[in-house]
Amino acid sequence: MKPDGKGMVRLSHHETCEWQPSITHEGLIVYTRWDYVDRGFFQAHHPWTTTPDGRNALALHGNYPKNWKDRPCMEMDIRSIPGSQRMVSVAAAHHGQTYGSLVLVDPRVEDDDAMAPVRLVTPEEQFPESEYGYFCREAAYGTPWPLSEDYYLCVYGYSDRRRKDKSVENYGIYLLDSFGNKELLYRDPKIACLSPIPLKARPTPPVIPDQVKPYPVDPNQQRLNLDRPELMAGAVAQQLKHERSVDRTEGIVSIANVYETRRTWPENTRITALRIVQILPKSAPGRDNPKIGYSTEKNARSVLGTVPVETDGSIHFKLPPYIPVYFQALNEQGMAVQSMRSIIYVAPKEKLSCLGCHEKRLAAPPTVKKPLLAMQRKPSTIKPELDGSNPFNFVRLVQPVLNAKCADCHAKKIKEKKKAPSLSGKNPDKRGWPESYRNLQKYSFYYNSGSFVESKTYPGRFGALASPLYKHLAKGHHKVKLTPEELRRITLWLDCNSDFYGTYEKLPAQALGKIIKPILK
Domains in the chain, number: 3
**Which residues fall within 8 angstroms of residue 512, CB to CB, at 6 or more apart?**
395
> What pLDDT does residue 257 have?
92
Q: Is 222's pLDDT higher than 60?
A: no
Instruction: Report yes or no on 300 lying in a domain.
Output: yes
**From the centroid of its chain, how far is CA 365?**
25
Q: Would you put residue 460 in left (φ > 0), alpha (ψ -120 to 50) or beta?
A: left
Which residue, of 186, 202, 227, is where some domain finishes? 186
What is the percent of the chain where pLDDT is above 70? 91
> What pLDDT does residue 162 have?
52
Domain that residue 373 falls in: 248-511
Q: Is 122 exposed, middle or buried (0-12, 13-18, 19+ CB in 10 A)?
A: buried
In contact, 261 and 338? CB cutoff 8 Å:
yes
> What pLDDT does residue 517 have?
92
Instruction: Report yes or no on 37 lying in a domain.
Output: yes
| 369 pLDDT tier (thresholds 50, 70, 90) | confident
Residues 145 and 283 in one domain: no
Tell me the residue type at 72: P
Instruction: Report yes or no on 202 lying in a domain.
Output: no
Interatomic CA distance for residues 146 and 428, integer angstroms = 57
Tens-digit pLDDT profile for residues 295-337: 988 899 999 999 999 999 999 999 999 999 999 999 999 999 9
Residues 59 and 178 in one domain: yes
Residues 98 and 66 in one domain: yes
Instruction: Report yes or no on 1 lying in a domain.
Output: no
Residues 255 and 346 in one domain: yes
What residues form DSSP beta bridges with 173? Answer: 155, 186
> What pLDDT does residue 143 have?
96
Residues 55 and 43 in one domain: yes
Q: How many CB atoms neighbour CB 295 within 10 A?
A: 18
Residues 232 and 266 in one domain: no
Instruction: Report yes or no on 192 lying in a domain.
Output: no
Q: Is 218's pLDDT higher than 70?
A: yes
Q: Is 244's pLDDT higher than 80?
A: no
Q: Rounded mean pLDDT of 75-99?
A: 92
> What pLDDT does residue 449 have?
72
> What pLDDT does residue 242 have?
66
What backbone phi and psi angles, to 5 degrees, belong to 211? -115, -15
In contact, 377 and 316? CB cutoff 8 Å:
yes
Residues 232 and 333 in one domain: no
Residues 149 and 237 in one domain: no
Which residue, of 186, 205, 226, is where some domain finishes? 186
Instruction: Report yes or no on 518 lying in a domain.
Output: no
> What pLDDT does residue 134 have?
60
What backbone phi and psi angles, to 5 degrees, belong to 209? -60, 140
**From the centroid of its chain, how far is CA 331?**
24
- From 497, 449, 73, select the one nearest 288 (Cα to Cα): 449
Instruction: Report yes or no on 73 lying in a domain.
Output: yes
Instruction: Report yes or no on 356 lying in a domain.
Output: yes
Q: Indicate the DSSP class of residue 498.
A: T
User: What is the sign, positive or negative, of the torsion defined by CA atoms of 96, 101, 106, 110?
Assistant: negative
Residues 361 and 388 in one domain: yes
Q: Tell me the whole-structure pTM to 2 decimals.
A: 0.91
In contact, 323 and 337? CB cutoff 8 Å:
no
Q: Where are the alpha helices (DSSP H) in 217-288?
A: 229-244
Interatomic CA distance for residues 512 and 2, integer angstroms = 47
Tell me the residue type at 269: T
Tens-digit pLDDT profile for residues 34-57: 998 998 878 889 999 999 999 999
Residues 229 and 346 in one domain: no
Q: Is 250 exposed, middle or buried (0-12, 13-18, 19+ CB in 10 A)?
A: middle
Residues 94 and 239 in one domain: no
Q: Kindly list the distances between the CA atom of residue 219 and the CA atoms of 7, 25, 238, 239, 510, in Å, as whole numbers in the listed order.
A: 8, 32, 11, 11, 33
Residues 239 and 355 in one domain: no
In contact, 428 and 513? CB cutoff 8 Å:
no
In contact, 130 and 69? CB cutoff 8 Å:
yes
